[in-house]
Structure 1
């Protein structure tokens, strides 16, 4: 499974958002960002002669080469070739992509405020975002946007980047969209004034039972710490004494957000993270303050192979301080810190300026000396080796062994190894159900189901979750729609994945009806083996006797 690193990704259960458009469906965040001063150019450059030679070469190509050459494009490729010789997380962002990259982790963006999806080459409004320009203008869930500023956009091969370019824009600017709505004979036109749209980084926050709270963080952005603190406070008022912090597939973001969240769990002066670069100005360490909001309650952190960067800072800080039980599978293994440098033409360089270290002193950066292809194939290698299924397949270098504050052994050199391993469960997964998801059949079905059953809005989300069942006739309708969309029915794989399909359909219907991610995850999380195991561990702490320190076991 090759992974290409970009500065930001927002894959949220196959929902595509204008507030954070997806660049790749499987992507993890390129790096941890920190604030620092830009480096001053040195007076004597060792490479001045090489730069002069390169400039001379480009001039010869521009003026004397037999064919016409796009030297600007050639230069862009040269830059990327140079950076390929460094680490996998030092990246060049061209001017056309720089604004998008810079906006990914901001608290707000400027746009029309809709969550959208592309079905059959048509732009569907999944939901207008609360308080945004689209909601205020009367755009509804289920609307199809077919024109933008008078130009047809249906059936032209739309992709998410094209939608982003058309519908986002400077705050206060206007855009006119033409909408096809069910039971309306004519195209409806809405003139929208783009505004500031809040970006959230918490997918869900709810009580599992009367003691266990659950918070899922999808990234570490500008507003993440504030969102997390508010969610933590609310759950405490509901009686939470045990917390599951879900960082699965969270690929990182700002170091400051990771430090802030870690601080809420640790006692005063506990080391959270340190970093060291070639230049001493990038050396620093962060320690906890005395005012953590959840320093005593029982805590589990969920990670997997998609948890990277800032997620690993949190997991490493809590593991090394024996503060939380880390549950799941070995994390990605990104222990490098990037800093953004603006270039004169509006492009940006995100360059690695330091390594970070967990409190025990370990670097969790996995090796990258064998090249980008090997680095990016790490997930596939873990799958083939059996690591995703069995802890016995994971091997660490004994020379990279470290100790937690409680004396437990932890390892550097390749991600955070959980205290309690949970193998990947593929018993109900199949290529058939994956195809139904990939070609948007399940999403299309749930959107239509929502539109055809408005009466469901008359009951609460709690009532829906307790009483609604996906029937056999509904499954047959999904199968028929799948065949219409080009997915051939497979009886054996259908039987294998039947229960999983029911969870997926019910979870998405809950989201479409109530616009509530909590409702979605209360259903969807039942398919997640790490989540289920964490709850079981809270209810049966005796299973942890060989996995945790005495202090940690007492908290459990």
Structure 2
């Protein structure tokens, strides 16, 4: 024991030193502004808010003040770092998640009555017996017909947690009908259309990169290959992006070996590379990718990778120009901060982010400026702010900064129409009008078995034009002033909306693609590719 007592001071000293070292090491894990023992040091913004709550002469809505302070602070950063208040987070995340919870119908409010326009096949409403054309007059205890119901109000009544039940009173052919609908998880599809556009060429349109985008894309690709697809036109026009990993997985299906798809890097984020990981389903075969000024973010990741590896021919107009990566952070009150944490770079090393040194409004308006300054008509390769790069295989010139420039430019349609046609062409309620026309004359439309048959066999009548003009407030007399070009444009527009009404988005694209200049250029180009 005496010998052990001699060593006690030494053991105590060693323990003290180790404890001090561990304490110093743990300091880096303590949030900024907080003491070692957890005593918080408030930021000036929080101190001001506390003083307002305790000392201000009148009552203050500090939540709104906090939101305004956050928005003002973020206004000095890049345009894609955004704060989403708690009340909007669920809606904001629906597109990314690829689903929501509800009953599975699309509806219009017509004459103060909710009409079921489309019923999701095998969805909750379909299983309960709801049919297209049914009128909803009561949801639970709430009457929804003849009470000036709003879209927001009916949405809140119909949506709810999956598994919950809602009682709905319908009106079908003038007869009341009571149904109980068990809510479920309703998909928000990323793939709008997938069909054989020619004997050996498939067409796929992807509207966003949600969490289900890759899964949907693979199902569409496999189905088309079973139908004999050897070549593919992949349309991502209007696709504003979404989840980066979904774009990477889709790119992997086109690129072989372990090719680099992109890499990301930021001040606080180390370089992270994304490579191909598996054999792709379409590594061989002619590929055309369609883009436009509204193809952004993840769309540009995909386009940049395929262009840099000379894997696809890019057709259309210059993409949006977003080369930044956001990471979502959930805040304690349920709100969300989507913070830009890094930049992404294509395989050749280019970042395609366009300048944002002016206001956020100017940044967003830059896209629309292209329609006014001629870039959308004559091409816009001269406006790039970044340096020149080379593609990896064929050493073709590509650009950094300002988006992805297509290999084949297609100008926007600049055909002008008469003053008589414009109120009809740009009538915001055209979808409702088409829906009503369908149910007034179902025999006229149900004789066509496909959108292709409808495109060939149907032409708009004078009676429809008269009704359309009356609905749009243009007046029947204006029909007499329509030119032949006007009438053809109205015929195409009506038929495209009716194709969507009957055959959903797949039908819409099957019709619209027959007159779409970019798609037609894609078909022309892909014939020359092996």
Please classify the TM superposition score into its range, dividing by the shorter chain length. 0.7 to 0.9
- Equivalents in 2 of 1:274, 1:219: separation in Å? 21
Distance 1:395 1:475, change over 3 A: same
* Corresponding residue number in structure 2 for 1:272: 261
**Structure 1 residue ranges without an equivalent (≥5):** 1-39, 542-554
* Corresponding residue number in structure 2 for 1:326: 314
Mapped contact 2:269–2:342 kept (Cα < 8 A): no
Map residues 123-138 of structure 1 onto 2, 5 A cutoff: 123-138=114-129
Q: Does 1:499 align with 2:488?
A: yes
* Corresponding residue number in structure 1 for 2:325: 337
Q: Mean alpha-carbon deviation: is it higher for 74-83 or for 434-443?
A: 434-443
* Corresponding residue number in structure 2 for 1:16: none
- Partner of residue 472 from structure 1, selected from 462, 465, 469: 462
- 3-state DSSP class of the match of 2:395? coil
* Corresponding residue number in structure 2 for 1:402: 389
Q: Does 1:96 align with 2:83?
A: no
Q: Does 1:168 align with 2:156?
A: no
Distance 1:290 1:197, change over 3 A: closer
Deviation at 1:316, TM superposition (A): 0.5
- Partner of residue 340 from structure 2, selected from 333, 352, 358: 352
Taking structure 2 as the reference length, the TM-score comes to 0.86
Distance 1:57 1:502, change over 3 A: same
- Equivalents in 1 of 2:52, 2:453: separation in Å? 70
- Equivalents in 2 of 1:395, 1:49: separation in Å? 50
Distance 1:435 1:160, change over 3 A: farther
Deviation at 1:127, TM superposition (A): 0.8
Deviation at 1:176, TM superposition (A): 2.8
* Corresponding residue number in structure 2 for 1:391: 379
Map residues 46-445 of structure 1 onto 2, 5 A cutoff: 51-119=42-110, 122-154=113-145, 160-181=151-172, 183-184=173-174, 187-281=176-270, 283-391=271-379, 394-397=382-385, 400-405=387-392, 406-427=394-415, 435-436=423-424, 439-445=427-433
- 3-state DSSP class of the match of 1:501? helix
Summarize deviations over 1:360-392 as a string: whole Å, max 9, x none: 111111111112111121122112211111115
Mapped contact 2:318–2:380 kept (Cα < 8 A): no
Equivalent residues, number: 497
- 3-state DSSP class of the match of 1:352? strand
- 3-state DSSP class of the match of 1:147? strand
Which entry has the higher C-alpha Rg, 1 or 2? 2
* Corresponding residue number in structure 1 for 2:15: none
Deviation at 1:309, TM superposition (A): 0.8
- 3-state DSSP class of the match of 2:166? strand
- 3-state DSSP class of the match of 2:322? coil
The structure showing larger relative contact order (alpha-carbon pairs under 8 Å, at least 6 residues apart) is 1
Summarize deviations over 1:420-449 as a string: whole Å, max 9, x none: 111101215677666446544432232122
Summarize deviations over 1:120-167 as a string: whole Å, max 9, x none: 554322111111121122222122334332324456665544443232
Distance 1:492 1:387, change over 3 A: farther
Mapped contact 1:150–1:178 kept (Cα < 8 A): no
Taking structure 1 as the reference length, the TM-score comes to 0.82
Q: Mean alpha-carbon deviation: is it higher for 489-498 or for 405-414?
A: 489-498
- Equivalents in 1 of 2:166, 2:64: separation in Å? 32
- 3-state DSSP class of the match of 1:268? coil
**Structure 2 residue ranges without an equivalent (≥5):** 1-27
- Equivalents in 1 of 2:427, 2:163: separation in Å? 36
